[in-house]
C-alpha cells in the first residue's frame, strides 16, 4: 500500500512541476498518468470495439513503479518517470528534454514529497535517458528515480 501512495503523491508532485510547460504546436501542458496511457475504445462498425492507446494524450508523463525492497525500518522503490511528446520538427526533441529537466530539478530541489513520508534516495543516482531508436515524430525518454519510504512496524511483541 505504501508504494501505491507514493505513486499518487508523485503524480501530484509532477503535475505541479510541469503545470507551466507548453509543449508542441498546441502548447499543451503534459498530462500525468499512473502506469500507462489510458485506453480509449475505438468503435469499428465492422467488428467489436477494440482498445487502443490514445495518441491525443501527448504530451504525457507516466509514473511507473518498477521494483522495490523492504527492510524492517526502511523501504526503497525504483520508479520510472516516462515522458512522451509528438512533434514533426526537432522542437519535439527539445520539448522532451525540457520536460525531463523540469521534473528532475523539481525533485532535487524538494527532496521530499508526501508531507515528508517519501525521500529521493541520496545513495542512488537519478538517471535520465532519451530512447535512441528513430521514433520521429514521437519522442520518448525517462527519468529513473529511487525513493525511500517508511518501513513496516511490527505490531506484535514477540518477547512476551
Cell numbers 503545470 correspond to 19
Confidence of residue 1 (pLDDT cuts 50, 70, 90): low
Query: Is the pLDDT assigned to residue 49 strictly greater than 60?
Result: no
Greater confidence (66 vs 47) lies with 66
Query: Is the pLDDT assigned to residue 3 strictly greater than 70?
Result: yes
Q: What is the pLDDT of residues 103-155, one digit of tens each?
A: 999 999 999 999 999 999 988 899 999 987 767 788 999 999 999 988 777 67
Query: Is the pLDDT assigned to residue 41 strictly greater than 70?
Result: no
Query: Is the pLDDT assigned to residue 7 strictly greater than 90?
Result: yes
Residue 149 main-chain phi, psi, to 5 deg: -145, 165
Mean per-residue pLDDT, 57-75: 89
Q: How far apart are CA 83 and CA 96, in angstroms?
A: 7
- pLDDT for res 96: 94
CA distances from 158 to 73, 75, 122 (A): 17, 22, 34
- pLDDT for res 40: 67
In 3-state terms the chain splits into helix, strand, coil percentages (rounded to 5) of: 25, 40, 35
- pLDDT for res 56: 53
Q: At 154, is the secondary structure helix, strand, or coil?
A: coil
Q: With a threshold of 0.75, does the pTM exceed it? A: yes
Mean per-residue pLDDT, 38-65: 69
Query: Is the pLDDT assigned to residue 70 strictly greater than 60?
Result: yes
Where along the chain do its domains lie? Answer: 2-150
- pLDDT for res 24: 84
Mean per-residue pLDDT, 21-42: 86
Q: Which stretches of the chain are DSSP H helices?
A: 2-17, 91-110
CB 43 within 8 A of CB 49: yes
Mean per-residue pLDDT, 15-41: 90
Fold of 2-150: Alpha-Beta Plaits (3.30.70)
Cell numbers 499543451 correspond to 28
Amino acid at each position: 500500500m505504501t508504494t501505491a501512495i507514493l505513486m499518487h503523491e508523485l503524480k501530484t508532485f509532477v503535475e505541479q512541476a510541469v503545470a507551466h510547460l507548453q509543449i508542441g504546436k498546441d502548447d499543451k501542458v503534459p498530462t500525468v498518468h499512473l502506469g500507462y496511457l489510458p485506453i480509449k475504445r475505438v468503435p469499428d462498425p465492422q467488428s467489436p470495439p477494440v482498445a487502443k492507446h490514445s495518441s491525443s494524450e501527448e504530451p504525457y508523463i507516466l509514473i511507473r513503479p518498477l521494483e522495490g525492497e523492504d527492510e524492517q525500518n526502511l523501504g526503497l522503490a525504483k520508479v520510472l518517470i516516462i515522458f512522451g511528446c509528438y512533434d514533426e520538427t526537432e522542437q519535439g526533441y527539445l520539448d522532451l528534454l525540457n520536460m525531463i529537466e523540469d521534473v528532475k530539478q523539481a525533485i532535487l530541489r524538494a527532496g521530499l514529497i508526501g508531507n515528508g513520508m517519501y525521500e529521493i534516495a541520496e545513495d542512488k543516482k537519478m538517471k535520465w535517458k532519451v530512447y535512441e531508436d528513430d521514433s520521429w515524430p514521437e519522442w520518448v525518454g525517462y527519468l529513473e528515480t529511487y525513493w525511500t519510504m517508511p518501513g513496516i512496524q511490527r505490531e506484535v511483541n514477540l518477547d512476551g
